[in-house]
Structure 1
Amino acid sequence: MRLFLSSLGFGDHPDALVGVVGAGARIGVVVNAVDDRPAADRALAVEIESDEMARLGLRPVHLDVRDPDSARLLDGLDALWVRGGNTFVLRAALSDADTDTAIVDRVRAGTLAWAGYSAGAAVLSPDLRYVSEVDDPSAAGPSPITTGLGLVDRPVVPHVDGSYDEALRCAALSARLTREDVDHLRIGDRDAVTVVDGVVTRH
């Protein structure tokens, strides 16, 4: 299993990202975490994220995980780059076409790398209920999914060292989890965490 987790883009560690996904990888750009925003914003997100991946020598392809053919489209990809936004919106999109099952199976088998930031990292946690302290669950509708993909065995809390509103909420969540002795993965805005064959490395 190969994972790259960060808070803002690839932080200060583009080399770590390329190391996880592979040089020249064909990488699916997933921006479904901003499905609750206007179409123009989503289109701009695809453009920005794709440009960033191309700048690293990767081969980006937009992947809408709500597409009924998304599980089939995964066959041509080496990795995913999953943008931040609202974790519950992203989780709902992943479940729309059962893309979540196909992704989890391939990531666990080691044939697909997952790289994501903010919501794209948090959604890998087993339990998303804690994320409601940071993201609005109602953005995903009246019955948001609160189980994550479970590719990480603990809560993932990004943005723990920033001074803006979202970061302060993340820092407060991390502090609460610490007080309650809940093991969790803290990620600062310039940091990255990689998981390769069970080995967790902080960058």
Structure 2
Amino acid sequence: MYLSSYRLGDHADRLFDLMRGKRRVGIVANALDFIPDDARQRYEATIYSPAREMSDLGARPEYLDLRAYFGKSDALEQALEEIDLVWVLGGNAFLLRRAMRQSGFDNLILKFLREDAIVYGGFSAGAVVATATLKGIDLMDDPHELVAGYDPTITWEGLGLVDFSIVPHYRSDHGEAEAAERAVAYFEERSLPFRAIRDGDAIVVEGDTISVLSNASR
């Protein structure tokens, strides 16, 4: 797994190392579903396109919209079999978690990772949902954010891929940096396990080995 604070971060080479030369990427952008399609298209065209970034690095990306698989986990399993990396974008972690639950992605990703058949990567919300719980992340993201077709029930459990919480954008030049400080305080006050990562940082999980990659002085 490759869990980044912001976009690919400063260690994209490690992400591609995990892929072992494979190049098929499924981009999950459901954390952004609260943003109108036209605004998202303008942003990708003029500011930042994750698909273009992946293509420039030699990958073969395509979007994997989990809404198309709500209630269709068998179809999603077939789609996941055709990709080597699932790259999960930032946005609202609670909306993303709903999409993962309603599509069956949450159970399927556990299966694929156990079989070492896929790499899970993501940034911001995409990293946060890999943890055991989203409690504390409600200080950064609105858990009540909804879009048509989404179940209003809040899912507080993360995917459980790591046994600590992740706070992205910590002490970074990012709009959520102040909220990240509040989240860090939440975890510290309760003596809960967490990792706070700055933009540029990434957490790499290979088997039982967990590494925090950072160019910033602590």
Give yes or no for TM over 0.5: yes
1:104 corresponds in structure 2 to 110
Q: Aligned runs of 1:32-71 on 2, under 5 Å?
A: 32-43=30-41, 48-68=49-69, 69-71=75-77
Secondary structure in 1 aligned to 2:81? helix
RMSD over aligned CA atoms reads 1.8
2:216 corresponds in structure 1 to none
Question: TM (normalized to structure 2)?
Answer: 0.86
| Deviation >6 Å, runs of 4+ | none
1:191 corresponds in structure 2 to 201
Secondary structure in 2 aligned to 1:66? helix
Residue pair 2:128, 2:166 contacting (<8 A) in 1 also: yes
Tell me how many residue pairs correspond in the alignment: 201
Q: Which has the larger radius of gyration?
A: 2
Secondary structure in 2 aligned to 1:19? helix
- Cα 1:46–1:151 change in 2 (3 A) is farther
CA offset at residue 42 of structure 1? 4.0
Unmatched runs of 5 consecutive residues or more in structure 2: 70-74, 214-218
Supply the distance in 2 between the matched residues of 1:45 and 1:120 (Cα, whole angstroms): 19
AA paired with 1:171? Answer: E
1:156 corresponds in structure 2 to 166
Unmatched runs of 5 consecutive residues or more in structure 1: none
- Cα 1:183–1:86 change in 2 (3 A) is same
Residue pair 1:78, 1:113 contacting (<8 A) in 2 also: yes
More helix by share: 1
Supply the distance in 2 between the matched residues of 1:39 and 1:55 (Cα, whole angstroms): 24
Supply the distance in 1 between the matched residues of 2:43 and 2:25 (Cα, whole angstroms): 15
* 2:188 is the alignment partner of 1:178: yes
* 2:98 is the alignment partner of 1:88: no
Q: Report % sequence identity.
A: 33
Secondary structure in 2 aligned to 1:137? coil
2:129 corresponds in structure 1 to 123
- The range that moved more, 188-197 or 18-27, is 18-27
Aligned equivalent of 2:29, options 28, 31, 47: 31
CA offset at residue 183 of structure 1? 1.3
AA paired with 2:183? Answer: L
- Cα 1:164–1:99 change in 2 (3 A) is closer
AA paired with 2:195? Answer: L
Aligned equivalent of 2:78, options 39, 57, 72: 72
